[in-house]
A and B are shown apart, each in its own frame.
Chain A
Amino acid sequence: MKRDALHKSVLGAATVALVLWGGLPLYRHRHHGVPIVKGPGVTDVLPLSAFSPGLKGTAGDTSVFVLRGREPGGKALIMGNTHSNEPEGMLTALIVIENAVVEKGTLYVIPFFNNSGSRATRPGDGYPLYFDVATDWGARRFRYGNRDASPLDQWPDPDVYIHYPDRQLLSYIDVRNTNRTWPGRPGGPLMERVTYGAMELMRREGIDVAVDIHGAETMFPVTNCIVAPEKSVKIATLASLTVKATEGFENHVEPSPSGFRGLSHREIGDHAETMPFLLEAPIPFLDQPTGPKTVEFLLDGKDPFLLSLSKKKKLFVPYDESGWPLEKRVGQNLSVTLEIFRQFTKKTAARPIVLRGVPRYADVVKAGVGRFLADPSKAAAGAVIVN
């Protein structure tokens, strides 16, 4: 009897040790704070729960940075990390927050739209927990998250996700995917409350343009593009043609399918006056037939298997030995976003959105992403928001 108890105690202790050994890195990742420096244009920081009270005190709440212009004008919203394993959106948003000065209009920026997802990971795919971006003053560390919100924050999943309000049947996992839960509802699952908060922000503040920034696999046809519904397609086309002619990179336009519900580029336009745009930059790290999912691969986008597939014309983007590095992905997001604002301003002169201080594609490709990230340790007191 005594021997049996001792035996079981040893096994129990070994199990506890195993849980601590495996769980502590995940715990630290979930609670790792990312400092964001309020740049010269930031005038206010609000919680998203100000627009969706059901988010208050939950992991779904997130910071909304407001950059009010010196002159009135149109209003725009930029969202990054809708999918937290596509970090070029978050980095694009951060560069805007830390560098932009708005001359005309108002800009709202949400760098960690799926805050819960940014605190989760995908161990089965061997995802790294963090990645560092090199800067002039050292490395800046970010959490590398997952596509969907953490089941620690929203549980249990249904067998089938019934989209609100269209009742379209979606995959069960999409109940935690903030690009399937639009337009959301105030008392729905947590991720519906997140998208509802953004919808309320757009409706109450009268947002004209919303840009939701993503990354997509090189083997996925909807990549390296701007996805736009009917109401945004003219501006998207003009932006696409302009960046190709003036900055030399491709970014074609994809129509937003009207029968596929829950996506930002569809629901925002259908449930608010806002014109939505979804940007997809190619991120080879997300492709499946690749080598190990290392931080280096995440940053430089170089992979021998994708190179081989490219030679067999199996990819939807040009791909060579130079890969598809982070600076190219972030740079094209910045240029396309600025070009969308410029085209909107040309079309709607009474509601201009004019920014300065934001680098464009060539600047980021030449100097790197880190060149445009601020040093939190040198920021003034109260100028750093930790997310």
Chain B
Amino acid sequence: MIIMIAYYIITAFLLALAAWNFVREKDRRQDLVLYLLVMIPLILRLLRWK
């Protein structure tokens, strides 16, 4: 249970990083797409959609 909570915290941290980079990025479209793709599993995990 403790490990699972730690993994959720790590997931939230990585999602925040990717979202921050997505907001900051202005020019490179490829990077924007990459950030969005990276965020998909992180968002689904945090929302616990099944």
Q: CB within 8 Å of B: which residues of A? A: 4, 7-8, 11-12, 15, 19, 30, 59, 152-153, 155-156, 158
Contact = CB atoms under 8 A, between A and B. Distances in A.
A5 B44 CA distance: 23
Given A30-B50, A155-B45, 4 more contacts: A15-B36, A19-B40, A155-B7, A158-B3
A30 B44 CA distance: 15
B4 A156 contact: yes
B36 A12 contact: yes
Contacts of B26: 4
Contacts of A158: 3
Contacts of B50: 30, 59, 152-153
A15 B37 contact: yes
26 contacts: A4-B26, A7-B29, A7-B32, A8-B22, A8-B32, A11-B29, A11-B32, A11-B33, A11-B36, A12-B36, A15-B36, A15-B37, A15-B40, A19-B40, A19-B44, A30-B50, A59-B50, A152-B50, A153-B50, A155-B4, A155-B7, A155-B45, A156-B3, A156-B4, A156-B7, A158-B3
B42 to A, nearest CB: 12
A153 B36 CA distance: 25
Task: Sort chain B's interface into a size bin.
Answer: 10 to 19
A30 B40 CA distance: 19
Contacts of B22: 8
Contacts of A15: 36-37, 40
A117 B32 CA distance: 34
A15 B19 CA distance: 14
Interface of B: 3-4, 7, 22, 26, 29, 32-33, 36-37, 40, 44-45, 50
A8 B29 CA distance: 9
Contacts of A156: 3-4, 7
Chain B CB within 10 Å — which of A59, A156, A158 has the most?
A: A156
A310 to B, nearest CB: 41
A30 B7 CA distance: 24
Nearest to A119: B50
A28 to B, nearest CB: 12
A7 B30 CA distance: 12
B13 to A, nearest CB: 15
The 6 closest A-B pairs by CB, nearest first: A15-B36, A156-B7, A152-B50, A11-B32, A19-B40, A4-B26
Nearest to A4: B26
Contacts of B33: 11
Nearest to A59: B50
Contacts of A12: 36
Central interface residue in A8, A152, A158, by most chain B CB within 10 Å: A8
Contacts of A4: 26
A4 B44 CA distance: 26
A147 to B, nearest CB: 19
Residue picked from A7, A19, A30, most chain B C-beta under 10 Å: A19
B43 to A, nearest CB: 9
Contacts of A153: 50
A19 B7 CA distance: 23
Nearest to A31: B50
A175 to B, nearest CB: 12
B26 to A, nearest CB: 6
A104 B26 CA distance: 76
A4 B3 CA distance: 39
A330 to B, nearest CB: 31
B4 to A, nearest CB: 6
A155 B6 CA distance: 12
Contacts of B36: 11-12, 15
